[in-house]
Structure formats: C-alpha cells, structure tokens
Chains A and B, each alone.
Chain A
Amino acid sequence: MENKIEKTYPRADPRKTSEIIKVLDPLVNEWFFNKFKDFSESQLYGVIPVYERKNILISASTGSGKTLTAFLSILNYLIGLAKKNELEDKIYCVYSSPLKALNNDIYVNLIEPLREIYELAEKKNIKLQKIRVGLRTGDTTSAEKAKMLKNPPHVFITTPESLAISLTTKKFIELFKCVEFIILDEIHSLGNKRGVYLSISLERLEELSKIVPVRIGLSATIAPLDEIANFLVGIEKSCLIANVQNTKKVDIKVLTGVSDLINTNFYEIHSSMYNLIDSLIQQHKTTVIFTNTRAATERVIAHLKEMFPKNYIENIGAHHSSLSKEHRFEIEGKLRKGELKVVVTSTSLELGIDIGYIDLVILLGSPKSSSRALQRIGRSGHKLHDISKGRFIVLDRDDLVESSILNKECVERKIDKIHIPKNCLDVLSQQIYGMCIQKIWDIDEMFKLIRKSYCYNELSKEDFMSVVSYLSGEYALEHKNVYAKIWYDKKTKQVGKRGKLARVIYMTNVGTIPEESYVSVVIGEGERKDNKIGVIDEPFLEKMRPGDVFVLGGRKYQFMFTRGMKAYVRAGIKRNPTIPSWFSEQLPLSFESALEINKFRKMINDRFEAKISKEKFIDFIREYCYVEVGIAEAIYTYFYEQYYYSKIPHEKRILIEFYKGEKNYVIFHSLYGRRVNDALSRALGYLMGQKTGRDIEIGINDNGFYFAGEGLLIDEALRVLNSENLRGALEESIIKTEVLKRRFRHCATRSLMILRNYKGRTKTVGKQQMKSFFLLAALNKISKDFPILKEARREVLEDLMDVDNAKRVLEWIKQGMVKIERIHTKLPSPFALNLILQGYSDLLKIEDKLEFMKRMHEEIIGDINERRQEGIL
C-alpha cells in the first residue's frame, strides 16, 4: 500500500467577544449588536484570522452564520476604506459558490447588512463611499457585465464557471490585479471535477493579483479537514482550520411502518409507510422529505396525494434537479414564506439554499453516508440553537440495518471521507486552453502554476505534455493547424492560443458538469404506436438490453430498441421488471459506513456464537445503534434468520454463496459499498471470462455482488487476483463497456475534443455520443495512452469505482485479516435476497464480436432448419 504523506494544519481557537469588538469599526460594531445578541461560535473562530489576513477553513454545520463570519472582517475593512474615501475601483473580494441560486441568496444577505450599515451611517452623519456588490453567473446579461466593467464591484460574486470565463476576459483581468480576499463557499460539494477545475482557477487568480489574496473556505461538517484545507490553499501556503463544534442538538430516530418487513405483503408495507409519513407531516409545521432519486420524489408525491387527498392539494411540492429553474425558485420562495406543508426532494435541497423554517426532515431510505445524513437533517431547525429533527424511514431489511448504523454514526458524529479526484487530464485540457487564451505562457511556468493546485500536485510532466500535444494537434495525422486549439513552440518553449474563435469556443463550452440527456420512451407497435409515454435518462437506457422490462409512470414496458434519442417499447407487459427504475441514480454507500456495518455484523455474530439471550441481544442493539425496541427486534430477526440458515458475513469474513436457481449464481457477501464491489466484481469476472471466453452476468449492490452464467471458475480467479494486478485487470475489463464509452464522452466534452457548442450551433447529446463513438474508435487505433482516454479510464476506476479501497480489501484477504468462506444454499439466504431480486447490473463482454455472430448464426439458422425438417417429416 502506498502511504501518502498528508499535511496537517494548525487548528484555530475561538476568540473572546471583546477581542473581536476591538478590531471592528465602531459603526460595524453598532450595527452588529443592534441586530444580534452576540457573535456566533463560528464568528468567534473566524473573524479575527480573516482580519489578520490568514487563510482559514471554517467547518461548521448549516445555519451557524458561516457566511457572515467570512464577510464580517471584509465588510469592516471596506467600510473603513469607504470612511476614509480610499475605496479604489477594483475587486477586493471574490466570492465563489457552486450554486447560482445560492448566489442570489448571498447577494441579498450581503446587500442587506450593507444597506443597514449605510442607514446607520446616515443617521450618524458619517459619510461613506458606496461599496458595490456585483454578481456574475451564467444568467448575467451582457449589459450587466458591461456595467460591471465601468463601475467595478468591490465584492464580486460568481460561480466556478463564470470565474473561469472572467479569467480569460481582458478587461476583467485588469480588475483582478489586486484581489485581497477569496471566499469559497460550500467546499464540501466540490469533491468532483468542478472543484478540481476551481483549484486551478484559484492559482490563476493568485498569479494575476499583485498581492497574495487571503483564502477563506466555508464548509459544512466534512472530513478529512486537513485535506480540504490543502485543497483550499494549494501546496505551498499555510492555513488555519476552524473546526466549529456543532452546538446544534440533533434528534434522530429510525422508524418503520410495519414491524415485520419480510412477512408483511408489499401493499401493507406500502400503505402503512405512507400512513406513517402522513402522520409525521401532520404533527409538524413544515417537513422536507429526502428520497435518493428523482423518480422516487415524484412517486412519493403522487402517493401522498392519492391516499390523503384532503391533506395535500396546493401545499405539497417537488424539488429536484430535472425540474425547471422557475419551478425550483417558486418552491424555494413558497418554503421561505411558509406556504408549503411538505416538500419532497432528491439531493437538490442538500446544499445551503435558504428555505426558511423547517421543523422535520424525513429520510426515506438510507442516505448512504453519515455526512449526507447530517447535512440533510441539518436542514431542519435552521437557526443555530434550534434542534435538528430527522427521521429515517426504512424500506427493507438491508435498509433497516444500514439506516440504524448511519443513525449511530450521526449521533456519534462520525463523518465519512470526501473523495477529491486528482490529476484529471480533461479538466487540465480546458484550463490550459483557458490559460492560453489569457496570454502567451512559458511552458515551464504554466506547469509550475498548475502543480501548485492540490489536485495537480503530483501531475507528471509527461501527462502534462501529452495534454499540450493533444491541444496543439500533434495527434492529428495531418491538417494539424486546422484542428489544433493551441500552438506550442518547442524552441522558445512558449504556448498560446490558436484561431480567432478561441475565446468564443471557450466561453460557450466551459464547464465540467456533463450533459445527460433524456431519451423519449415511445410505443413501438400496436394501436398506440408512436405515442410518447415519458422520458428516461440516458444512463438508465444504457443498462437496458432488448427484452428488459422496466417501470415508468407506474406502468410496465418492455424495451425493444432505440433510434436516435427515442427508445421504442412494447406496452401491456405482465412480466416483472428486470431493471429497477432507480438504478442509474443510486447513491453508493460510503466505504467508512460500510466498514461500520461490517463491524456491527461481527459483533452480532459473536453474540450468536456466545448464545446470549434474546433480551440481552435486543438491549445490545438498542444501545449500540440508539434505536427503539421495535427496530432492534427487526434487526435481530433479520440476523437470526441469516445466522441459522447460512452464515453471517462480517468484517473478518467474506461469504461466497453458491445457489442454483433460474441461473447458476455465485453470490459474494462483501459489504464494502458498491464502488468497491464494482471494482472487485469486474476484475474477478474478467479473469473468469478470460478462461472460458463467455460473457458473464454481474449484479452489484452495496452489500455484495453476484455472478451468473456457465463455467464460473471463481477459485481460479480469486487465486490470481491481487492488489498489484487489480488495476490492470480492471483497465482491460472496462474497454468494451458502455460506462467507459459514456465517461469518455464526458471527458471528451470537458477537454473540448467534442464541442457542445460551435459557432452558435448546439450539438445534441445524441450527436455528441455519435462523435465520441467515432473518436473512441479512432483512438483505439491510434494510441491507448491518449490523455483523454486515459482520463476516462481513471474516472471509471477511481471516481466511479473505488480501486484504492478495493486494493485494501484484497490486501486484507491476502494477509488473512479477512477470510473467504463458501456455502451452498438451496434457496438464496436472507442477505442474498435483495441482491438477486434487483436483477443484473451489467454484462462483462468477453466473447469476441465475430464469434458471437457465428454462434448466433448457428442458433438462428439451426432453429429454422430444425423446424423445416419437422415440417417435412
């Protein structure tokens, strides 16, 4: 195992109120104490360091006044300048937030204090220069931008994307020449390519500025704080960490609608769950329900309206990312005004959008990680000293155990770790292009600047140069100049942009969030032929093979084929669904929480072996998970069945269950979260397939995975696979997969190989897909080390899967810390049930395309001949 040396940063201490009063301008002090009783906890931690111009990361729960903490010293400074008539026409502070909607919010929250301070100043006859606040997001009009250039805002509020564009605009660059503060809000939501992108923008901003700006990071509860601080300030600088202890009390419970989740029939579970939800809503003023998927969001609303028509008419709403901006704003507005009784959402309300007073959060189904659970529950009782109230409502028995352990982690405040992608070559391409548009660079200086970012600290010169080669058209076989985006002169070692359209191309294609498209579902035959039923998202479509049955809008359809962006289906299907509709949106269980559950399973197993009494057992579960008797009993029963029917897999035991049903199943009970299971199963499946040459069906969830097929040489695969060859096996195994193709499309778009928008023509996702198909085919012929293809592979292995933790698991097996045991069952064990019921996730394509054609030809023609002969006879 590689041991990464992680930086640690000093912790900040809370200061006294009197200390803060001393550094603030009397006017600001007077305003503050007119409005608030005292400084909040995070203000005690943060105001002085910002005043002293120290970099700081403030981690505190939502509603703890973080934003004002960041702004207070800055406002104080600007007011001081304004008093002395010393305000210059430049940007003093850049504030970046991942949410456009949040920016509007902050705008109001910043303007408001300013307005109040100016009112106060007027009363006291103090003359103040005007402090300007400017907002630039994707929605900002060009008139507004022009105005900003004329009268530069002192506080500049923006998103990562708009900041990147500003950094290439000549006139804007002038305004950045002396930035003194940079605030990054909602850092916890930047553990993705957007964050990676922003990390280089920060270094570029600093390079432009004559003074080194102070960096202030604001984050919800998150771990590990040192890594986030590292991300905030980059490689060389120091940083303070203010870990503001959560003073907000939480009141969390795990609930089920019925006591017996297995012997009660589906309809009863269903109706009692909604009865429970309804009664909870009725007992509270305003409730937010979090489901994990958009589809579930709609479903919950429909059911509530149907079952309780009197209770829910105008007072219920949905909020999720595929709804229009207008709709979401409307819902947020209504929430703030207290006009809604309940809002159902997927993940879009997790971030700090101001939604007014919420007194209950319902978590429908496990939120899959403790930090997400806390984040969601924290949306209730938004004011600092309120109690946050959250209720887990569990859907099945795996969910029951998972939610109970998350409940424990929330109570004990165990936070799982964020994953920040590193060395992303697609983001790098976009940034290099942006930098070249900004000015001509010395290649070594450019490399040095990029390596200052935490996300690129370990970037190799080789990878960097391969991106430069790609952008400067060196991979092109001819017509290099036509298609190159930048030029690179090897003699002078300089790089610069190429083409007059460069800036336009950059502006219209900037961004890291892949466009996912929706595919229309259309009836393909019969009376209702060509009727459109609805839409499904593209990743979901990718999972489907002809013949699969799925649910849409409460009805079952069988998938036939696609054409362009339409999926043709057959209606009136009676068979059970083969693909659950939430499939593509499923959140993965965090590795840390998975290990917690494994630990718990071991404790349970030990107690069964020690044969302790049921009463003691229930007491143990109650105390350990902080749950009520009913829940503890349900957990007990679940484990009891598994223990006596099969074996309980746990932190020291991976159980392989062999079960022959409709198909030959080999089920791995390996509870490490689906990201790790995805990696393990694919590598094992690939090794088995190499031997037999046949395709293998794979099913994966957080608790394990299964293989189905003929000739599963599992022992041999297990013997071969180890932590050293895992990565290689995985890289081979994903070559033909849909997921690599899709990720490649995303990477190709991010790296501007595919332009979403060119000369005002927007390319549909379908066209992008086609284009990426050509590119990928070409790449497979030219170079497997092409940087963007390499990045797509990295993304699949490290971001989508979790190859590092999968390596750890293989190490544990090798060292004997985890033992593999086998068992044969006549019926799938209780723990295996959910896994088998969900159907397959993917198929490992091993068989050669030509061999497949030959085999199918034999099958089809063989069939026909047989029938012909029968006919003759």
Chain B
Amino acid sequence: MVEDKIKIKFLDDCLLIKDILVIGDLHFGRNEQFHESVFPGLQLKEILEKLDGIFDYLETEKIKVKKIILLGDVKHDFGTITDIEWRETLEFFDFLKKKLEDVNKISNKIIKDGVSNMDLANNQTPAKIGKDYDKTNKDKLKNKIIVIKGNHDNILKPIVKKSGIKLVDYHCVEIKEGKKNKKICFLHGNKLFKQCSNSDYLIFGHLHPAITVYDKYKSEKYKCFLKGKWDNKEVYILPNFSLFNLGYDLRNIDNINEGGGIGLLSWFSKLKGKSNNIKRGKNKLKDNSRSKEEFFVIPNNTLKNFEVVIYNNKWKKEYNFGVLKRLLKRLLKKYG
C-alpha cells in the first residue's frame, strides 16, 4: 500500500511530485521596491543559480521534469509592473523554458516524432531536428509551465502572455496511486475553488512558513514545509523560493487568520451556492460584505496540527520536527 502512494519528494525549497517540479512564491522586485536598492538584479542571479543546482541534481538522479508549477506571487508589486520586475520575470520564465527544453529534448522526440536516439545518430541532420523540435515544443510548452495566480499577481498577465505561459487560478492533475487515479490540486492559498473540493491532495504557497528553533542559548530561523491533513485531503505548504526572506515565523501562527480561519465547510458551502463566476466583480462585493477575507484558507488551529519539515539541501536530507503545536510547546517548555 504505502509503496503505491504518490511519491512527493522535498527538494531544496521545492516539491517534486513524480515529474512535476513545484516552486513556491518568488516575489521578484521585492528587493528593489524602494529607491535605495544597491544591488538590483542580485535576487534573480541567485535564484537562477539555485535552480541550476536543482536541475543539476535532478540530472544526476536521472529525473526528467516534465512540468513546472509556480504557486503564485511571482512578482511583488501589487499596483504596477516595475521595470525590474518586467525584466527579471521575463528572464526567469525564459530560463525555465530553456531548462524544460533541455531536459525533454530527447524524450520528446521519441514520443512525439518517433525519432530514436539511433536515428539521431545515423540519419538526420541536427539542424533539422532542432527546427522540428522547436515547432512542436512551442505549443506544448503552454501546458508545461503553469503559473498559479497569487494575491500579488494582479497584473502578471502581460508578462505571462509574452512568455507564452499559462496563468490560472488553480491547476489540477491526476496521478495514479496504486490502481486509483488521485487528483492533486495546486493553489496559491488565499482562495479556494469549487473545482478543487474533490481533490485528494492540495499544494499551497502563499504562507511562506518558517520556524525558529532555539535552545537556552541561541535561536535560528529556518524555512520549512508544512504537511498535514485537512478535510481528508493531504496538504503540503511550500516555503517561499526567494533568497533573503526566510518567511513567516510560525510562532505567530495565531495571528495568521484574524478569525482563526473561516473553516472549510463555510468555504465550500459558499462556493457551492454560487455559480462558477464567483470571482467576478459583482459577486465579490457581496462576498466581502458577508465575511472578512482571511489571509490563508486553512484555519490556524488546523495548521497547528501540521508537521514541520525542514529540508536541508546541503545534505539532501529532511528533518521532520513533528506536529507544530507540540514542537512549539516543547521548545517553550524546555528552553523557556
């Protein structure tokens, strides 16, 4: 049974689900938000280096990524696309596309065009292969990189469009677990969608979880994953992918949602009562008047029962610190 379960692997700040690489919030431009930035461009450079490391590792492990899902908040500014955001985000997308192309070059050929390695070596000229490949791949790429719309992504569309990438509110895939097909749904985390209600797995960004571990003498903060159950679904929450920001200290978990989350039932019942255009202007107004918007869709008390996992990329090892509630209690009791 257990072995049949879908393999969800931690990797750096990402998740690897079979051949899908899931990346958390990036917030391009955050660093340059104010006038005084002295090192613009550093963030992108570092992020690309980090991704290079991830892809190198995947190559040595002989894992071929077929799809990349970004969990939202790609860029930071709500109001406009700043010059630097425009450039960095574009460059970032181009980088991802290139990576996917590189990884899938050969496999694509075999499946799509029926060209084998052997053929490649023998007959056809490399130039021609390249051309054909490009043509087929461009269409395919649309479904290969998927960007979930985050709360910061009000005006991401122009950039995504230019890159030929899909921007969606949520994204679902089906993967075999044993004999059954399981539905995995990827969301940002500030909103739920009716279409996700029957899924088996939920993958979120948005929260940027981080945990401070301390003893009597010192304390250090680490990015972490949260993993748990909610409404019979397995839930994973990813840390952010950006560099200098470790994230939201989970010691303050009680403050995440003002009212402690509005609860799953009300979410879905609300969604069920509405048409599909729930997110359109008119209805949204009504929505707001009915209940205060919460920061994260999962209630605080549920999150407290999630497990905290710190992934150490240097040693490629995960450290499960157990259930958050117990961990916080334990630290406080033991070390004051």
Closest chain B residue, CB of each to CB of A564? B252
Q: Provided the pairs A479-B84, A483-B40, A777-B244 are in contact, do residues A861 and B322 lie with their beta carbons within 8 angstroms?
A: yes
A262 at the B interface (CB under 8 A): no
Q: Which of A563, A850, A861 has the most CB of B within 10 A?
A: A850
Q: Is the CB of A860 within 8 A of B321?
A: yes
Partner of A781, one of B34, B46, B334: B46
Could you tell me which residues of chain A, from 826 to 873, have a CB within 8 Å of some CB in chain B?
Answer: 843, 845, 847, 849-850, 852-854, 856-857, 859-861, 863-864
Set of chain B residues within 8 Å of A459, measured between Cβ atoms: none
Partner of A782, one of B42, B244, B321, B326: B42
Could you tell me which residues of chain A, from 479 to 512, have a CB within 8 Å of some CB in chain B?
Answer: 479, 482-483, 505
Partner of A853, one of B220, B326, B335, B336: B220
Q: Which of B41, B42, B212 has the most CB of A within 10 A?
A: B42
Q: Is the CB of A864 within 8 A of B322?
A: yes
Distance of A693 from chain B, by nearest CB (Å): 14
B83 at the A interface (CB under 8 A): yes
The size of the chain B interface, using a CB distance under 8 A, is 48
Partner of B39, one of A697, A773, A782, A859: A782
Across the A-B interface, how many residue pairs have beta carbons closer than 8 Å?
130
Tell me the complex Cα distance, A473–B219, Å: 35
Distance of B282 from chain A, by nearest CB (Å): 34
Q: Is the CB of A477 within 8 A of B36?
A: no
Which of these binds chain A: B135-143, B295-303, B310-318?
Answer: B310-318
Q: Is the CB of B244 within 8 A of A483?
A: no
B35 at the A interface (CB under 8 A): yes
Set of chain B residues within 8 Å of A558, measured between Cβ atoms: 336
Q: Is the CB of B244 within 8 A of A860?
A: no
Partner of B319, one of A752, A777, A853: A853
Q: Is the CB of A548 within 8 A of B336?
A: yes
Contact with B along A434-475 (1 / 0, CB 8 A): 000000000000000000000000000000000000100101
Which of these binds chain B: A139-147, A352-360, A408-416, A753-761?
Answer: A753-761
Q: Is the CB of B41 within 8 A of A479?
A: yes
Q: Is the CB of B251 within 8 A of A561?
A: yes
Q: Is the CB of A483 within 8 A of B220?
A: no
Set of chain B residues within 8 Å of A563, measured between Cβ atoms: 249, 252, 255
Distance of A599 from chain B, by nearest CB (Å): 37
Partner of A482, one of B83, B222, B326: B83
Closest chain A residue, CB of each to CB of B310? A853
Q: Is the CB of B41 within 8 A of A773?
A: no
Closest chain A residue, CB of each to CB of B330? A860
A778 at the B interface (CB under 8 A): yes
Q: Is the CB of B84 within 8 A of A778?
A: no
Q: Is the CB of A861 within 8 A of B37?
A: no
Set of chain B residues within 8 Å of A850, measured between Cβ atoms: 312, 314-315
Q: Provided the pairs A781-B46, A852-B220 are in contact, do residues A561 and B212 lie with their beta carbons within 8 angstroms?
A: yes
A23 at the B interface (CB under 8 A): no
A514 at the B interface (CB under 8 A): no
Q: Provided the pairs A755-B34, A774-B244, A853-B319 are in contact, do residues A546 and B40 lie with their beta carbons within 8 angstroms?
A: no
Q: Is the CB of A477 within 8 A of B45?
A: yes
Q: Is the CB of A561 within 8 A of B252?
A: yes
Q: Is the CB of A477 within 8 A of B39?
A: yes
Contact with A along B226-264 (1 / 0, CB 8 A): 000000000000000001110001011001000000000
Could you tell me which residues of chain A, from 711 to 761, have a CB within 8 Å of some CB in chain B?
Answer: 752-755, 758-759
Set of chain A residues within 8 Å of B35, measured between Cβ atoms: 483, 505, 755, 758-759
Tell me the complex Cα distance, A852–B220, Å: 8
Tell me the complex Cα distance, A843–B331, Å: 19
Closest chain B residue, CB of each to CB of A749? B36
B38 at the A interface (CB under 8 A): yes
Tell me the complex Cα distance, A563–B250, Å: 11
Q: Provided the pairs A560-B332, A563-B255, A843-B217 are in contact, do residues A758 and B36 lie with their beta carbons within 8 angstroms?
A: yes
Distance of B306 from chain A, by nearest CB (Å): 16
Tell me the complex Cα distance, A861–B319, Å: 10
Tell me the complex Cα distance, A781–B212, Å: 23
B218 at the A interface (CB under 8 A): yes
Set of chain A residues within 8 Å of B335, measured between Cβ atoms: 546-547
A695 at the B interface (CB under 8 A): yes
Q: Is the CB of B312 within 8 A of A853?
A: yes
B179 at the A interface (CB under 8 A): no
Tell me the complex Cα distance, A763–B35, Å: 12
B89 at the A interface (CB under 8 A): no
Distance of A159 from chain B, by nearest CB (Å): 25
Q: Is the CB of A547 within 8 A of B40?
A: no
Q: Is the CB of A857 within 8 A of B321?
A: yes
Q: Is the CB of A778 within 8 A of B322?
A: no
Q: Which of B46, B251, B320 has the most CB of A within 10 A?
A: B251
Q: Which of B38, B222, B244 has the most CB of A within 10 A?
A: B38
Q: Is the CB of B213 within 8 A of A482?
A: no
Distance of B214 from chain A, by nearest CB (Å): 5
Could you tell me which residues of chain B, from 70 to 110, have a CB within 8 Å of some CB in chain A?
Answer: 83-84
Set of chain B residues within 8 Å of A863, measured between Cβ atoms: 330, 334
Tell me the complex Cα distance, A268–B243, Å: 57
Distance of A503 from chain B, by nearest CB (Å): 14
Q: Is the CB of A545 within 8 A of B214?
A: yes
Q: Is the CB of A477 within 8 A of B42?
A: yes
Partner of B213, one of A505, A547, A856: A856
Could you tell me which residues of chain A, from 520 to 561, have a CB within 8 Å of some CB in chain B?
Answer: 545-548, 558, 560-561
B-binding residues in A (CB < 8 A): 470, 473, 475-479, 482-483, 505, 545-548, 558, 560-561, 563, 695, 697, 752-755, 758-759, 763, 771, 773-775, 777-779, 781-782, 843, 845, 847, 849-850, 852-854, 856-857, 859-861, 863-864
A-binding residues in B (CB < 8 A): 31-32, 34-42, 45-46, 83-84, 212-220, 222, 243-245, 249, 251-252, 255, 310, 312, 314-315, 319-322, 326-327, 330-332, 334-336
11 more A-B contacts (CB under 8 A) besides A476-B38, A476-B39?
A: A476-B41, A479-B40, A483-B36, A545-B214, A546-B335, A547-B216, A697-B217, A763-B34, A771-B34, A843-B217, A853-B213
